[in-house]
């Protein structure tokens, strides 16, 4: 099951081209972590031919690796995707290859769900082009120092950093150039790299690409960025909100469609006042209509909801507008060929495969049902009172409940996936509710 890639790729030939004698085979879990096994080349080629058994615990434990499912945690069938082979970006003679569970267990996989939506787009006559951009904090901490400090007040790297800072880029040139070089070895192209608001804060927009590779690139970027900085004694933090004194960290998603017949941009109509086609308006209509009930798909952590509050450069309700950074779906129409929708809801902690699957699924549903998005919003949407139907759930528990009740989400992604995902999100939220924070002790210990 693969979309927008060659039907057949010879793994032996690809490994020859890379010069790899070992392969790191990885499956993305439901939180987007790349779970890897390193095997000799001969075994990797054998697994590519005959299948790859992998433990089903990835969909029975949480991000802290605490199990919440039941069963005997057996190996279930998976497959390798030779077309995803890339050079291992560190030591030589090694490669990485993406794998995933096959059906029926693979229904739970966000990557499989994304591929299904890409195939649907192709059946409707479109190819999908997209790119993520991530903001993240670099901390002057390693694994040991974080634990020694109890994760309470981590030290930041580049304390004097400012937005679009010349000083940080110049002073940290070697470190940042190393990051760019590593990503290039992985086949991940960066559209830009600049600093953002706050100490040690970086923003990296990825170059747009077609199909599932855009989400693969984004997920691998996050995983390997964290590895790169750890190898340099630092920590890359993709939390949505690290603390209350810092701005939120986004994971904006840029999406456009092209007509398969002539490769023309499907979101463009030169005769429209805003340059938008009916296809674009219906895509936006579907995304805006379904955002509130499907929010958990792109905002799957407790922490993601700390960012979606007024004043954090993050939307708090379903809305759209032309070049307006306070809406949830921002149309960027500077040039016809690059006209696209920037989905501004996802945080840096989003699962790229699932965020893209949600965006495409909702947009295609809008096209199918000719959903009118209504007039484009103007002005600062943060200061307006949203309508009840457009308001986002305020926490992960509410978002999981909304998703569980969504008939459209179940029609788009199936009961198996929705039931599995909702169960995981409810477990995550229940873990949070059992926790007693420092804020609560400081606020209530002496007064109640």
User: How much is the CA Rg of the chain, to the nearest whole Å?
Assistant: 22
Helices 278-298 and 352-368 meet at what angle, rounded to 10? Answer: 140
Q: What is the pLDDT of residue 95?
A: 98
HEC letters along 268-323: ECCCCCCCECHHHHHHHHHHHHHHHHHHHHHCCCCCHHHHCCCCCCCCCECCEEEC
Spatial contact of 420 and 391, defined as CB atoms under 8 Å apart: no
* Model pLDDT, residue 22: 98
> 11-105 architecture in CATH?
Roll (3.10)
pLDDT, residue 8, reads 54
Taking CB atoms within 8 Å and a gap of at least 24, the contacts of 175-179 are 175/232, 176/202, 178/228, 178/232, 179/225, 179/228, 179/229
Please report the pLDDT score of residue 386 as a whole number. Answer: 85
Residue 310 confidence (pLDDT)? 77
Q: What is the pLDDT of residue 11?
A: 94
Confidence at residue 347, expressed as pLDDT on a 0 to 100 scale: 97
Closest CA to 384 of 430, 327, 338: 327
CATH pick for 118-444 out of 3.30.70.260, 3.30.590.10, 1.10.10.10, 2.40.30.20:
3.30.590.10
Does pTM top 0.75 for this prediction? yes
Which conformational region is residue 211 in: left (phi greater than 0), alpha (psi within -120 to 50 degrees), or beta?
A: left
- Kindly list the averaged pLDDT for each block of 10 residues, start to end, along the chain of length 448: 52 95 97 97 96 93 87 92 96 96 97 98 98 97 95 93 92 95 97 94 97 98 98 97 91 98 96 96 98 98 92 87 95 94 98 98 98 93 86 97 98 98 96 93 93
Between CA 218 and CA 30 the distance in angstroms is 15
Longest dimension (CA), the chain: 70
pLDDT at position 128 is 98
Tokens at 17, concatenated? 């081209």
Give the C-alpha separation, 149 to 289, whole Å.
Answer: 44
Alpha carbon distance 441, 301 (integer Å): 23
The total number of residues shown for the chain amounts to 448
Domains of the chain: which residue ranges? Answer: 11-105, 118-444
- Stated as kind and residue range, the H or E segment containing 38 is strand 34-40
113's CB contacts (< 8 A; 6+ apart) are 353, 354, 357, 413, 417
Q: What is the pLDDT of residue 112?
A: 98
């Amino acid at each position: 099951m693969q979309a927008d890639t060659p039907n057949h790729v010879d793994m032996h030939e690809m490994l020859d081209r890379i010069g790899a004698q070992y392969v790191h085979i990885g499956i993305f879990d439901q939180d987007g972590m790349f779970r890897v096994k390193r095997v000799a080349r001969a075994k990797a080629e054998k697994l590519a031919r005959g299948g790859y058994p992998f433990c089903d615990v990835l969909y029975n434990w949480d991000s802290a690796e605490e199990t919440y499912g039941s069963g005997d945690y057996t190996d279930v069938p998976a497959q390798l995707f030779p077309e995803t082979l890339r050079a291992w970006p560190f030591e030589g003679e090694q490669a990485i290859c993406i794998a995933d569970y096959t059906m029926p267990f693979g229904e739970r996989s966000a990557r499989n769900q994304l591929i299904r939506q890409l195939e649907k787009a192709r059946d409707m006559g479109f190819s999908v082009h997209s790119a993520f951009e991530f903001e993240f904090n670099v901390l002057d901490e390693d694994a040991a120092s974080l634990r020694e400090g109890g994760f309470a007040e981590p030290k930041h790297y580049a304390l004097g950093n400012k937005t679009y800072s010349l000083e940080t880029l110049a002073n940290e040139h070697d470190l940042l150039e190393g990051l760019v070089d590593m990503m290039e070895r992985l086949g991940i192209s960066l559209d830009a790299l600049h600093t953002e608001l706050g100490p040690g804060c970086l923003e990296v927009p990825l170059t747009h690409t077609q199909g599932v590779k855009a989400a693969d690139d984004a997920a691998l970027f996050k995983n390997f960025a964290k590895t790169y900085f750890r190898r340099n004694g630092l920590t890359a933090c993709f939390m949505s909100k690290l603390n209350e004194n810092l701005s939120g960290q986004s994971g904006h998603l840029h999406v456009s469609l092209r007509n398969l017949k002539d490769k023309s941009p499907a979101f463009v109509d030169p005769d429209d006042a805003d340059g938008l086609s009916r296809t674009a308006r219906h895509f936006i209509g579907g995304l805006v209509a379904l955002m509130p009930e499907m929010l958990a798909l792109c905002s799957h952590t407790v922490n993601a909801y700390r960012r979606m509050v007024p004043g954090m450069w993050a939307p708090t309700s379903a809305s759209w507008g032309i070049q307006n950074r306070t809406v949830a779906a921002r149309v960027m129409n500077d040039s016809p060929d690059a006209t696209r929708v920037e989905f501004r809801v996802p945080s840096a902690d989003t699962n790229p495969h699932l965020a893209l699957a949600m965006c495409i699924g909702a947009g295609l549903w809008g096209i199918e049902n000719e959903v009118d998005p209504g007039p484009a919003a103007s002005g600062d949407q943060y200061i307006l009172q949203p309508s009840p139907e457009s308001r986002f759930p305020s926490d992960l528990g509410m978002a999981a409940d909304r998703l569980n009740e969504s008939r459209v989400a179940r029609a788009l992604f199936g009961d198996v996936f929705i039931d599995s995902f909702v169960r995981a999100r409810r477990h995550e939220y229940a873990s949070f509710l059992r926790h007693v924070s420092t804020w609560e002790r400081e606020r209530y210990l002496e007064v109640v």
